Amino acid sequence: MLDERDRKLLELLQCDAGLSVVDLADRVALSVSACSRRIQRLEAEGYIARRTVVLDRGRLGVPTTVYALIRTAHHSSEWMERFAAVIADIPEVVEAHRLTGNVDYILKLALPRVEHYDVIYKKIIRKVELFDVSASISMETLKDGAPLPVDYAS
């Protein structure tokens, strides 16, 4: 069961995983050792899946976001495993979701420019059969990487 200090730690770590345990302890009014134990427990219990760094996409040369909407006529376990393996090997695919509705999958691609989408498209269709693929180009990012709400955690 999470208490308010656990929730505050989760909020703080989501915004800056590089905060020192000393800073975190100070912000949640705990001793350093008690804070460290709480963080270890949150990791062990799976509330903290991993710690990461957010890189600047522009500085890395991949400022363009394209969403590929994929429909398939295949829904077998084998096809889904093959598709998952194909997109796992493409670093430009930064997110992938299986959906309900008219579209089966959506892929979020981080690309150097719009024209590079064709390179990724060809990599995918060479290895797995798709029924229909369409793409949308993000014109502007309004919200990205926002911290998850922690109030629902138990």
Structural domain boundaries, residue 17:
4-44
C-beta neighbour count of 145 within 10 angstroms: 9
pLDDT tens for 77-94 read 999 999 999 999 999 999
At 151 the pLDDT is 93
* Residue 53 within a domain: no
73 in the same domain as 128: yes
| pTM listed for this prediction | 0.89
Amino acid (one-letter) located at 61 = G
Report which of 22, 31, 2, 39 is spatially closest to residue 149, judged by C-alpha positions.
2
Name the domain count of the chain. 2
* Residue 94 within a domain: yes
Tokens of 3: 């208490």
